[in-house]
Structure 1
Amino acid sequence: MLIKAYAKINISLDVIGKREDGYHLLKMIMQTIDLYDHINIKRLDAGINISCNKPYIPIDDRNLVYRAADIFINTYNIKGGVDIYLKKNIPVAAGLAGGSTDAAAVLKAMRSLYEIDIEDRELMNLGLKIGADVPYCIVGGTALCEGIGEKVTKLTNFKNQILIVVKPSFGVSTKEVYKSLDISKINKHPDTDTLIKNIEEHNLFRVSKNMKNVLENVTLRKHTVLKNIKNELISMGAMGALMSGSGPTIFAFFEDMLKAQSCYDRIKKKYKEVFITRTI
């Protein structure tokens, strides 16, 4: 099977509490975008064999793809293995769920390859053991994600919105960002209900003005270049710009392709990984 594993952005990200085990309680609106990794997967008699087009990507149990295959084989007592070739396009350590979406795609592919009759919900529960974004990546589209990410509610589809995605030359550790977050110092939380209403009305202008990510409090303070990227995108015609996930990727919505293309042509001269894409 040859499958596409799609990246996501956060139209909003709110931290509303913390569990006793240290996990943060989240309320966020996630959105799939048309930027994806290719995964080629086939059955083997035994074992898990992973290869990748990027030499810096681990191909052992540090990789979420490996862990997805391993957990699936062990959970359903599979008599066999898989060979996986991963062609990475989604930037790494970027806040775009690159590893999580690959893991989700592998879980879905293995369900088909080995003809295991299970619902998405069961697959999502399995995915949660790999990472908090994996359950959402199994569902995709426009969704409200709550808890530690495992409660996924589908929203009105916010597809075909044009955006530019800018990933600067460094990565960010999600764990470190959450560790540095002081919930008591979050002065302004996203208005999630209003954003959901804006999405239902397909009002890109209001979505762009109301979108918010509380993790910017940490990541933008550590990396001031991200503020510059946001300002540059807005000065080049974006309706609004926001950091995705724990960062450092910044995305911006545009009302038409002409403005987006003009911005893309200029900003890609400054930053290595720049994409012009759409919500799907």
Structure 2
Amino acid sequence: MSEFPALAQEEFRRLCEFLYRRTGMIFTEAKRYYVERRVVERMLATGSDSFPDYFARLRADAQGEIELFVNTFTVNETYFYREDHQLKCLTSDLLGSRIRTRRSDAALRIWSVPCSTGEEPYSIALWLLENWALVDDYEIEIVGSDIDTRVLGLAREGIFGKRSLMRLSPYLIEKYFVSIDAERWQIIADLRESIRFSQVNIVEPRQTRPHGRFDIIFCRNVLIYFDDASRRIAAENLYENLLPGGFICLGHSESMSRISPLFDVSRFEDAIVYQRPDGGAHADR
């Protein structure tokens, strides 16, 4: 793997505990090779002579090392219109539910967290423009957040390759993207400027609370990397970031019912989502 020796068992344990406290992500011996590769990457980048030397730098957060270290552990598998049945549910049911009892001048807020390199929040914007007849009648705020500052920079830049765009029609690519070369396209400036991107750790309430409350949260395919305790903390934080009656969409392999009793299950034709109770009676849909 490198000139550095493998981590001793106690070193590996201390490092995983540090990562868990910072991110909520849990790594066991089964992931040792994955973890050690990333440690070696950062040791080489920082010129550290040994793991104790690097770990001291990490704990001291020398030159922002914690942020750089955490960035190496994030998984950024994404593309446009991923799990688009939830996007269909967004325009066929969720937004209708949210606007039923509110003024038309009240902003609709949608949060994509984690947003990775931006495909999800941009997908939400594209889907609304193309599929929601009332899109021009409401102020819509879309926020994309992630713990990884590197991918947030890429999201703001909005440049994507063929794989990211593989589920978009030529019509949508022509309408909403500008070709850079044969392999890359940049989403148009109007859309880049319409989405706000921010850093957030969803197990840290001091970071989630300032984002305010949302009508709908997309939090897909991240809770599977947490242990039960971190999932509950994340669920409680997301609950506090939802308006009463608001909805949260998880990944297809995730179930809020197994994580927290705070949410009601809402069953729609296109998707099963989870709802913060609004204080009134509302049955399973």
| Structure with the larger RCO, 1 or 2 (CA within 8 Å, 6+ apart) | 1
Which protein is richer in strand relative to its size?
Answer: 1
TM-score normalised by structure 1 residue count = 0.29
TM-score normalised by structure 2 residue count = 0.28
Which protein is richer in helix relative to its size?
Answer: 2
